[in-house]
Amino acid sequence: MGYKYITKVNGPVIVASGDADFSMHDIVLVGNLKLLGEVINLNGQDAIIQVYEDTSGLKIGEEVEGTDAPLSLTLAPGIIGNVFDGIQRPLHVLRNIEGDFISRGLNIDSIDTEKKWKYTPIAKVGEKITKGSFIGEVKETQSITNKIMYSKDKEVELIEVANEGEYTVNDIIAKVKDKQGNIENITMVQKWPVRMQRGYKKRIVSSEPLITGQRIIDSVFPIAKGGTAAIPGGFGTGKTVLQHQLAKWSDADIIVYIGCGERGNEMTEVLEDFPKLLDPRTNRPLMERTVLIANTSNMPVAAREASIYTGITIAEYYRDMGYNVAVMADSTSRWAEALREISARLEEMPAEEGFPSYLPSRLSEFYGRAGMVENYNDTTGSITIIGAVSPQGGDFSEPVTQNTKRFIHVFWALDRELAYQRHYPAVNWMISYSEYAQRLEDWYIDNVSVDFYEYRKRIIELLGEENSLLEISKVVGKDVLQDNKKLVLRACQSIRSGFLMQNSMDDVDTYVPLEKQYRMMQTIIMLYDASSKLIDKGIPLSEINELGYFDEYSKLKFNIKNDEIYKFNEIDEKYKNGLKRLEDEYRYHIID
């Protein structure tokens, strides 16, 4: 506690001096308006403080009050479905209090403390309770049950338990006694320092994919539950649309969407869409499993820096209950820029392109909080992190993209050329990669089909061959290529438009189950192989094209609904028979 007094103001960074003993990362209340700030540097009597709100109007000599507590989140039922700013202030509540524009100096509860939740006890009187133990539960939304956990790192005994009934988050729902006989009241609320990782018993190597319903991801560059991925792309290449698609359709239990320094209207879009869209697994509105952190580009930069930690800490809280959580961070470049901005105000010596030298370690800490774990309470939970990267000038060699690449395992590189062709998602298959692909193979074999990876491999090989053929034809034209090479180009054209391209605006194509993805790969490879045989027998490609199968294939994604996968059998039959007939006709003509 105690006070220091302002001696310098430089944008969001201030210096306060005085006798009071502040600790690093303590929250302080700055000036007469009591703006929220955080101690980021201590030097003798001086504390350097980043302020989470606009500092206009602060004066030299105004007091800075210590709180003796780090920036902490309120973890309790009521988080899911909510929209917070970067330091967990609920934006709907802010709007009710202060209107359409965000003002300053308002310290309000992060979650609704009046609302009564229907609480059901789990643990019984006399039970031994340790860190992470479930004490009771609350149905937070139709899709999510919030487990009330014991949060301290010690063994205690449950001595009193509330009956099933309606309680607010601050009501006492249990009492515990430790070995020394100290009694502690338990509520549904945990306070947790936002910069501190929440612990777990042990890490698990995950061999289960996060299914997204997006073909280029699930079938070509899959991500494991508990994995890390980056989506780099210049502006206009579709990062945000892809992030939205993943937030909508991933088979995670909970989505934490962090809008970090991005556009206000993008958050509005999520807020308008998600309540209307249904989760394909639960048939409940997507908002019932989603938490939004919205710190748009024009909101204070220090809170933007914090928003990433707020998001990941909330994710860890639900992971601890045994949920699979996916964190979408859009965009981590804006977060890195917030670091740079504050670092410059501190007059730190910059490293590459003005970014602070600790950029790589911060990125590594952030992505390091992903993973599948065994929790203290023996449940298994995971956090998958998918970070968008907005490289300066669209150039992947810039520091944020390069440093991010070191700490992630899936790289979905978005490409301007593909965006020009209106090929979305514009994931460039030549430079993207997934380091999980091998590890996930068994899962696909067990859960989809033994030859899923065979077809995946064939598709990737064909696309690789197409790439080198296109290089050649840039110089000599396509006409000089032999028919078997032209067939590769034709097949790949269908793979591009019929398989890789996926229309997020189309009701059928926006989400595609694995079974259909598999059948789509199978059909095109079958069509290619059968055509290839005909060409070997001297039948010209033009005759095969005449049949229209390659054209038709491009439309199958729309024409065969997700619950009509059996129709692929009819298609396969048709293609096989048609090609057979062509072969016969041709043989007949030659004999003739």
Stretch that binds another protein, among 135-143, 191-199, 210-218, 414-422 (CB under 8 A): 414-422
49, 79, 102, 512: residue in contact with another protein (rule CB under 8 A): 102
334, 439, 490, 519: residue in contact with another protein (rule CB under 8 A): 334
Query: What are 205's two structure tokens?
Result: 């190597």
CA distance 412 to 428: 7
Taking the CA of residue 87 as centre, how many other CA atoms within 13 Å lie in the half-sphere pointing to its CB? Answer: 24
337, 415, 466, 483: residue in contact with another protein (rule CB under 8 A): 337
Q: Taking CB under 8 A as the criterion, which residues in 201-240 touch another protein?
A: 234-236
Q: What is the biggest distance separating any 2 CA atoms in the chain, rounded to whole angstroms? A: 105
C-alpha closest to that of 461 among 496, 435, 426, 488: 488
341 binds another protein (CB under 8 A): yes
Query: How far is CA 112 from each of CA 101, 275, 580, rounded to the nearest angstrom?
Result: 21, 20, 68
Stretch that binds another protein, among 97-105, 115-123, 186-194, 446-454 (CB under 8 A): 97-105
Q: Taking CB under 8 A as the criterion, which residues in 455-514 touch another protein?
A: 473-479, 497, 505
Between 350 and 578, CB nearer to another protein: 350
* DSSP characters over 186-197: E-S-EEEETTSP
43, 44, 56, 205: residue in contact with another protein (rule CB under 8 A): 56
Residues facing residue 359 across a β-bridge: none
422 binds another protein (CB under 8 A): yes
Question: What's the DSSP call for residue 69?
Answer: E
265 binds another protein (CB under 8 A): yes
Between 61 and 181, CB nearer to another protein: 61
390 binds another protein (CB under 8 A): yes
Query: How far is CA 399 from each of CA 404, 431, 442, rounded to the nearest angstrom?
Result: 8, 18, 36
Question: What's the DSSP call for residue 166?
Answer: E
Q: Taking CB under 8 A as the criterion, which residues in 288-307 touch another protein?
A: 294, 296-299, 301
Q: Taking CB under 8 A as the criterion, which residues in 145-164 touch another protein?
A: none
Q: Taking CB under 8 A as the criterion, which residues in 24-53 touch another protein?
A: none
Q: Taking a C-beta distance cutoff of 8 angstroms, is the pair 48, 13 a contact?
A: yes
Q: Where are the alpha helices (DSSP H) in 171-234?
A: 215
Between 273 and 441, CB nearer to another protein: 273
Stretch that binds another protein, among 71-79, 91-99, 109-117, 373-381 (CB under 8 A): 91-99
420 binds another protein (CB under 8 A): yes
C-alpha closest to that of 390 among 304, 329, 342: 329
2 binds another protein (CB under 8 A): no
272 binds another protein (CB under 8 A): yes
What sign does the CA torsion over 558, 561, 562, 567 have?
A: negative
Q: Taking CB under 8 A as the criterion, which residues in 181-200 touch another protein?
A: none
